[in-house]
Amino acid sequence: MKTGLAAGAAISIPSVLRAQKAQTAARTVRMVMSGDLRVFDPISTTATITFDHGLAIYDTLFAADSRNMPQPQMVGKWGVSDDKKTYTFELRDGLAWHDGTSVTAADCVASIRRWAQVNAGGQLIMSRAKDVSKKDDKTFMIALKEPLGLLINILADPGDPGLFVMREKDASRPPTEQVTANIGSGPFKFNHGLAKPGASFTYDRNEIYVPRKERPDALAGGKVVNVDRVIWDNIGDQQTAFAALQAGEIDFIESPPTDLYTAIESDPNLELEILNKSGNDMLIRMNCLQKPFDNVKARQAMLHLIDQEAFMRVIQPNPKYTRPLTSMFGNDTLYTNDENTGWYKKGGNPEKAKQLIKEAGYAGEKVVILDPTNAAWAHIPSQLLAATLRKIGINAELAPMDWGQLVTRRANKGPIEEGGWNIFISSYSDKNLGDPIGAALLLANGDRAWYGWPKNDEYETLRAKWADVETLEERKTLARAMQRVWWDFIGAVFLGQFVTPVARRKTLTGLMPTPGAALPMWNMQKG
């Protein structure tokens, strides 16, 4: 028996070896995403990988196109009353959940209510809403106490988190209670049977999905699925992922490491492609509650000190993928501007920084930088930052930890002696900086602001006007006014902008560029 088994295995090996190249079936796409899908509910987290999961299995009422302008998606027709206080939405035909039942207006109302508990824009809508209710099975309305010019933009915003429509029974849960049914009305169905948390997740084409007729444009337009199945392989080791791409075992790597770019470019079967053209903005967040950065001059010193090119080189050695960044609204949003950016100097201005830190009354106290050693994108610039600070006489100390520790410690508002901190490095999607209501980084309301807790009443007064401004031009003017104040009190200091190309086999085409980090899986083709 044992001999027979061994002989059988031995005989079958050559055919298995020959069949290896056919492992990636023609209409199955295998992708290595930049993170591991750990949370399945896109309303419970701001993680990009969960957003991508949401894009696959759920649908949205509106969606942002490549110019970040809102376009109807699940909504067929919509209108607003003459007094601009009542919005009516009618769902388009053919919308159905993965279990075959129809999507109703009640599902949409419940989804809006749940999302609005955690999204800043949603909270704004609800604070002005008199009523959010269904009119009939396909129609619902939002009645406001006062007009809100930004309402459709907020509903379309794929921000933190996006408005994914779920079944009423799922959306009735509190947002802190995860929805794990993974039943949506989107273009892909989540395959529970093949789900291996930490290893791989499988998405099958939703046969009953009816795409819009418009051509696909970023997250908007027709979501036409051209493959039968997409598998997300969680390959933790980048070198292994690259080897698998070369061997044709996978088709796509979302974030290949920069040191492999040359190898990828030299392989005739592989290609680098930039899908997220606005990329990410790296930044320094300072603790405004503790010395020395409670003093605005110390924060201004940091602004003048930073040599953005030097920081970008350690994050992304190839300059074709990086740009300096001076606008608080990012480099590629509708509101990017150059107001009050005279501080920017190529190479930085350490002399000016020295003078400002002296004026801030800095007396050699320890400046603790939270250094996540398991996140290279923040760890390497943290080391450079410590060296840069020491050059102008700042007593910088790196506090090594993993990312999990960092996210806990940065919530500590206390002084260093009580486990507090002074600086951490983070990154923000450039696209999200075009939304001063939803982007936590752009708040300056003290205790309620993002970690670092900057406070500036003048800025907050301007920010409060954002939602009521009617036209794009008026918003651009307001953006300039906000930026003028922002670069005086310094909410954060930028290290620059970088984009990360994806790596794909040339047989995988039609990947959809988006203005943010989102990765839609419709439209792509293999073959």
Partner 1 sequence: MATYILRRMVSTIAVMAMVGIFVFLLLRLSPGDPAAIIAGDTATPQMIANIREQLGLNDALPVQFVRWARDILGGDFGTSIFSGRPVLQLISQRLEPTLSLSVLTMVVSVTIGVTFGVFAAWRAGGLIDRLLSAFATIGFSVPVFVVGYFLVYLFAIKARWLPVQGYQAIDHGLAPWFVHLILPTVTLSVPYIAFIARITRASMLEVLSEDYMRTAAAKGASAYSMLFHHALKNAGVPILTVIGISFAYLIAGVVITETVFNIPGVGRLVVDAINNRDYPIIQAVLILCSGMYVLVNLTIDLAYTLIDPRIRY
The residues that touch partner 1, with contacts defined as CB under 8 A, are 5, 8-9, 12-13, 15-17, 20-21, 23, 36, 38-40, 44-47, 50, 118, 120, 160, 174-178, 180, 196-200, 233-237, 239-241, 243-244, 246-247, 249, 374, 401-405, 407-409, 411, 426, 428, 432, 439-441, 448, 450-451
Residue appearing with tokens 């950065």 = 293
State in angstroms the smallest separation of the CB of 263 from partner 1.
11
Q: Which is nearer to partner 1, 131 or 265 (CB)?
A: 265
Q: Check whether the bond before 147 is cis (ω within 30° of 0).
A: no
Q: Which is nearer to partner 1, 197 or 510 (CB)?
A: 197
Taking the least distance from each CB to partner 1, the nearer of 40 and 252 is: 40
- Is the Cβ of residue 50 or residue 388 nearer to partner 1 in the bound state? 50
- From the CB of 108, what's the least distance to partner 1, in Å? 23
What does 14-73 look like in DSSP terms, one character per residue?
HHHHHHGGGSS-TTEEEEE-SS------TTT---HHHHHHHHHH-EESEEE-TTS-EEES
Q: CB-wise, 194 or 387, nearer to partner 1?
A: 194
* Separation between Cα atoms, residue 274 and residue 254, nearest integer Å: 10
22 vs 363 by CB, closer to partner 1: 22
Smallest gap from Cβ 471 to partner 1, in A, equals 28
Q: Per the omega criterion (within 30 degrees of 0), is the bond before 197 cis?
A: no
Closer to partner 1 by CB, 231 or 357: give it. 231
Q: How far is the CB of 330 from partner 1 (least distance, A)?
A: 14
- Of 526, 457, 476, 40, nearest in space to 250 by CA: 526
What the block records as the tokens of 156 is: 């379309």
Question: At closest approach, how far in Å is the CB of 277 from partner 1?
Answer: 20
CA–CA distance, 210 with 218 (Å, rounded to integer): 18
Helix (H) or strand (E) holding 208: none
| Coil/strand/helix, residue 127 | helix
Q: How far is CA 447 from CA 117, 416, 456, in A?
A: 19, 18, 11
| Strand pairing report for 493-498 and 280-286 | antiparallel
User: Identity (one letter) of the amino acid at 518?
Assistant: A
Q: Which is nearer to partner 1, 86 or 246 (CB)?
A: 246
Give least dist CB 202 to partner 1, A: 14
Least distance from partner 1 to the Cβ atom of residue 265, Å: 17
Query: What is the SS3 assignment for 2?
Result: helix
CA distances from 205 to 23, 58, 165, 209 (A): 19, 13, 18, 9
* Share in percent of the chain as helix, strand, coil (round to 5): 35, 20, 45
Q: Closest distance between partner 1 and the C-beta of residue 9, in Å?
A: 5
Kindly tell me which of 413 and 484 has the beta carbon lying closer to partner 1.
413
Nearer to partner 1, 10 or 363 (CB): 10
- Alpha carbon 353 to its chain centroid, in Å, reads 32
Residues 6+ apart with CB under 8 A from 170: 179, 181, 183
Rounded to whole angstroms, what are the CA distances from 304 to 154, 337, 341, 360? Answer: 35, 19, 11, 14
> Is the Cβ of residue 15 or residue 471 nearer to partner 1 in the bound state?
15
- What ranges make up the beta strands (E) of 195-261? 200-205, 229-233, 252-253
Q: Which residue has the tokens 């199955």?
A: 28
CB of 448 to partner 1, least distance (A): 8
Beta strand ranges found along 402-443 (DSSP E):
423-429
- Rounded CA separation 458/297 (Å): 18
The amino acid at residue 184 is G
The closest alpha carbon to 160, from 73, 40, 47, 328, belongs to: 47
Which CB atom, from 20 or from 461, has the smaller least distance to partner 1? 20
Q: How far is the CB of 472 from partner 1 (least distance, A)?
A: 25
Q: Three-state DSSP class for 247?
A: coil
Q: How far is the CB of 354 from partner 1 (least distance, A)?
A: 32
CB of 10 to partner 1, least distance (A): 9
Name which of 426, 399, 423, 388 is nearest 288 in CA terms: 423
Closest distance of CB 489 from partner 1, Å: 20
- Cβ closer to partner 1: 82 or 418? 418
CA gyration radius for the chain?
25
